Copies of this chain bind each other. A is one copy, B any other.
Amino acid sequence: MAPMTTLKGDPFDRTLFESVTKRRFFFTESFEIYRVAPNFQGDNRGLYDYGPPGCALQANIVDLWRKHFVLEENMLELDCTVITPEPVLKTSGHVDKFADWMCKDAARGEYLRADHLVENVLASRLARGVNGPSKNSPKLDEATAAEYQNILAKIDNYDGPELGDLITKFDIRNPDGNGEVLPPMPFNLMFKSTVGPSAAAPVYLRPETAQGQFLNFRKLLDFNQGAMPFASASIGKSYRNEISPRSGLLRVREFLMAEIEHYVDPEKKEHERFDEVTQLRLPLLDKGTQLAGQTTPRNVSIEDAVKSGTIDNETLGYFLGRIMLFLLKIGVDPSKIRFRQHLDNEMAHYACDCWDAELLTSYGWIECVGCADRSAYDLTVHSKFTGTPLVVKEALRTGPVKVERWQASLDKKLVGPRFKRDAKAVQASVEALDQPLLEKLATELNTTGSVTVDTATPLADGSSSVELSRDLLTIQKVTRLETVREYTPNVIEPSFGIGRILYCLLEQVYWHRPQDVARAVLSLPLAVAPTKVLIVPISAQVQFTPITRKLSSRLRAFGIANNIDSSGASIGKRYARNDELGTPLGITVDFDTLANGSITLRERDTTSQVRGPEDEVLQAVKNLVDGTESWHQIAGRLAPFSAHGQNDD
């Protein structure tokens, strides 16, 4: 395909762009006919349906993702349930911590996301040059403007109380009606429901696909015949009960995710295929740069970024490179990608390093892929709660090693009668004690005759700890010959928001013919375009039907998605419709086809056409789809074509 940049002269017009995606049914607000109904009292914001081209585009992106990541590296794909019992998400930390801060405008009964409120109000003051809501507010002085800019640069770094302080300090109010807002409160973002008729079992819709993968770690390792490192992957819907969805597909309550959990030995974060990406340069916006209030990324090779410690380890670097290559493959503009490192306050509580791949759109830079090193957090907490070891056992290559370890044991005859139905929980708590704690407790037990041990789950009487005396509990140092090393793997997690990627891609490939804003084009690459080839007969006469059907079925046999448009509209109109659908190629069948079997092939971006015998043209289409030939090469060897009524104008 021809380079697009020369054709994309005009500034991006979101209204024109949205009219195309709506008109061509890429996506639509869900339940739209309800929203406009007179007595509808619901909230369908943040919910979108994909129409036929959006659905095909999504399927093609997912298909490429599966080939690029899952098949290329033999990842173990899982499909886990969305419905998740509360204890799982309590353990993972989501019940307590997966929340956004919101402010209530009490007068209007409206809820606003606190960080968005601060961001919008300060950005608006900066844009208007005044320090208040109206034209008559005082002018913004230079020092205050600089302060605002500094706050905006690190807006993701504030917690609720800090946002509350900013709201008070700068008298930030609800832009709708200028009412005061109450201090920020946390709002958990998970959808809650209950399962079964007794309604006694609370469940949530998963906020990410990761937890289901972690819970299956033992089975996955077993399926992988014990070999490390390896990765699992999952593609599926996740849910976040956003406080106040906006920005179309960018902030939605139901979305498709594709996540990889790559399990590594914490002492060996090298990657076998690191060589393949070392020379790739990434636009990195690291922590330090952001905290200095800067927004320009540095272009660094992955090799250098890992060597200098900017990126924590090889495996993380490898995946950042693979993410970059994937984004380029689906047609993202390389000048509109950056990798932004999470600030410390913003990073999930478990992560030790995290980068977002962000894509530039009319809404600014949008986080589309996260790539975090989640350390051993998840496997550790689930293992602790359930008492199921989620570890790797590896024969020591150096042979057996003598090790000294603290070991705790309970008197089994006494534990059962003493603790009854809590006995298992008490046993699990003692088994979960780590070496430093055991050493401390050994001294204490020796000195005072008893120790208090925390339990992972509440006991029958509601308490969360238990006292154990010397008659029940023994803690001693033992020397063992170990032949096996046991460790909890660390997890590197590349996590993709498919809907966001799809939206950003659509914005980036949108343009219009220089002579006409109403003639839009979506320059989707062949790899992801919903339909690869449009087949148009010059007129709706039935004599063309056998030929177009044959062409369609021959292309389908090559596995090439195509469509016949034999509607009565002019050829130009039918092509224009398909330019808006992002269809890269068009084949025209006309009266000469009936005479000599030749057909025309049109390229979407340049609108240039060539002509040749059916077999040659179909082979050219196949070569373009397979990527073995470019349009430039095709145009060089097939005859150029231009005929009245069949070209675009």
Contacts and interface: CB of A to CB of B under 8 A. Distances in A.
B195 A241 contact: yes
Interface stretch (A82-90, A438-446, A489-497, A612-620): A82-90
A111 B198 CA distance: 8
A77 interface: yes
A388 B38 CA distance: 11
A203 B253 CA distance: 12
A351 B36 CA distance: 28
A42 interface: yes
Interface in A17-52: 24-25, 28, 30-34, 36-45, 47-52
Contacts of A50: 78-80
B76 A52 contact: yes
A414 B111 CA distance: 38
Contacts of A59: 77
Contacts of A74: 563
Interface string A529-552: 000000000000000000000000
A55 B34 contact: no
B386 A196 contact: no
Nearest to A232: B52
A565 B227 CA distance: 12
A271 B243 CA distance: 48
B52 A84 contact: no
Interface residues of A, number: 93
Nearest to A72: B556
Interface stretch (A122-130, A213-221, A590-598, A603-611): A213-221
Contact of A196 (B43, B55, B203, B456): B43
Contact of A47 (B39, B77, B83): B83
Given A212-B49, A215-B32, A193 B195 contact: no
Contacts of A398: none
Nearest to A211: B31
Which of A32, A33, A50, A382 counts the most chain B CB atoms within 10 A? A33
A581 B599 CA distance: 47
A424 interface: yes
Interface in A195-245: 195-198, 200-201, 203, 205, 212, 215-216, 218-220, 222-223, 225, 236-237, 239, 241, 243-244
Nearest to A212: B49
Contacts of A457: 37-39
A328 interface: no
Which of A39, A254, A556 counts the most chain B CB atoms within 10 A? A39
Contact of A241 (B80, B196, B254, B387): B196
Contacts of A48: 81
A386 B215 contact: no
A425 interface: yes
A205 B206 CA distance: 13
Contacts of A565: 225
Which of A25, A52, A425 counts the most chain B CB atoms within 10 A? A52
Contact of A42 (B43, B85, B102): B85
A86 B42 contact: yes
A51 B239 contact: no
A544 B472 CA distance: 57
Interface in A404-438: 424-425, 428
Given A49-B80, A54-B79, A196 B111 contact: yes
Which of A42, A197, A203, A220 counts the most chain B CB atoms within 10 A? A197
A404 B82 CA distance: 55
Given A71-B561, A218-B33, A55 B84 contact: no
B102 A78 contact: no
Given A49-B80, A55-B78, A197-B102, A87 B567 contact: no
18 contacts: A25-B219, A25-B220, A30-B80, A30-B81, A30-B215, A34-B87, A36-B388, A37-B386, A37-B388, A39-B458, A49-B81, A81-B254, A83-B239, A83-B253, A109-B198, A191-B195, A192-B193, A205-B205
